[in-house]
Structure 1
Amino acid sequence: MFTKLVILAVIVVGANCRYLTVDVMPQKYIVDSALIQENDLEDLYSEQEYESVRPVHIRHRRQAGMMNTNPDGSANVMAKFPLAGNDKNILSAIGGINGAKDGGFKAGSAGLALDNVNGHGLSLTGTHLPNVGNQLTGAGKVNMFHNDNHDLTANAFATRTFPSNPAIPNFNTVGGSMDYMYKNKVGGSLGMSHTDLFKQTDYSAMGKLNLYRNPTSSLDFSAGASKSVSPFIPRSSWQPSAGFSFTKYF
């Protein structure tokens, strides 16, 4: 039943990028920015919560958290605390702050997440963007394939944004992605999202290389390109991006 619900969520909201920026003059809305490091946190959380012994899964109740830095010097902090569950599913409280710097932050979020031992999941998250507005996001993921070498996961989300500017109406963004990792070292992601109010579709293709990892930290290099298509964007081209990310788990 759990798997059917997750698959239904993915079908309904369509095909996700880690985060989506929607350019609206004179403001820029960061859609679902609290999910930027969600996969890393979920990987750590899954490793802590479930230990496979033959076909039997033993659950260990532990909190999980992570912190990493951005190129501009700001920091992101996320945490996940188990509330209830059994040997198959765990319900957790989740929260995070993104872009914390000089006493301020770009986004703060809190919500609930339901994780399955097979790598599937659902979440409902509320996000506050200072001077911008609020968002409510429903997300789902289905682990398509997993063994010691390969991991393939389909993700999807639907976000409702409530701008603080009364001149801008509430709007929805839907999206999805396919994420692949090889031996937790090399991977890539193909994503797409759409905001109907602005007639804008965003595409992303990203690669990831893990340079160093131990139980408490990780250093990764990411590179890729993104493109936005809209009638309001006269010329659209793929924009490259790259950077290093250091993550500390606790």
Structure 2
Amino acid sequence: MTEYSKKRKAFLNAMGEYTKHDVAVAFSGGADSSLILKAACEEAEAYGSRVYAVTMQTELHTMEDLKTAEKVAEETGAYHIVLRINELEEVGIEMNPVNRCYLCKRLLFSRLRERVCQLGIDIILEGTNADDLKAYRPGIKAVEELGIVSPLKDAGFTKQEVRQMAAEYGISVAERPAAPCMATRFPYGTRLTNEKMSAAAAGEAYIKTLGFYNVRLRVQDELVRIEVDRDRLEQVLKYKKEITDYLKRLGYRYVTLDLEGFRSGSMDLELGGKGGI
């Protein structure tokens, strides 16, 4: 039995145990939580249990994220609940502190637990994987403090293995790029506003329409730094006028291309950390 097969078996065995009773999945519509949701729905059939996909619609995520989550939840047949939460109203989060991810996760999962407790649900599953442990992810601490279960992490699944198993299940978002919250586009200590995040989201969406897969706009005041996969850097220059014109219409004065390419978590470099978002 291969290492992947062992992990797969351990994951499904655990999911079989969790779904003996009704269960909730913190569901973003990404590959990780979609795999958990799909596996939960299939395993729950043996027990007649209900699986609730709970998506948090927040100020730090785009409407595209919500639409994707709604689509995948419908594909799996899970009961879908959308919680609307404004993190920017919470003390501390608006100024994008270094521990923002911890504060945010603590808030979101506390609200999630309150909601599913009304349904008589004790077990909440979420999509942290083993690769996430290598990055700067203070939100993991909040997940652990609240007793949320991370079955992919527990089984030792890497992101690549998550995508592999998601593809085996026929999950439509198996290869969907990571979609971290929009706060990750700004330096720590920057006041977060809906206007700033909407502009960054619009700019990324436009560049993606030109055929780019991983895209991040890192914003520092009036300067925007474009990150795309390294093997696509030259392609950006072919669209330099279109991209520059579009981004300047969004309010950016200086448009730059990061020659190091897309780096997950590049805003964490100032911390001397590992990156990851």
**Fold shared, TM-score > 0.5 on shorter chain:** no
- TM-score normalised by structure 1 residue count: 0.27
Between structures 1 and 2, the one with greater helix share: 2
Between structures 1 and 2, the one with greater strand share: 1
Largest Rg, 1 or 2: 2
- TM-score normalised by structure 2 residue count: 0.25
Greater relative CO, 1 or 2 (CA 8 Å, sep 6+): 2
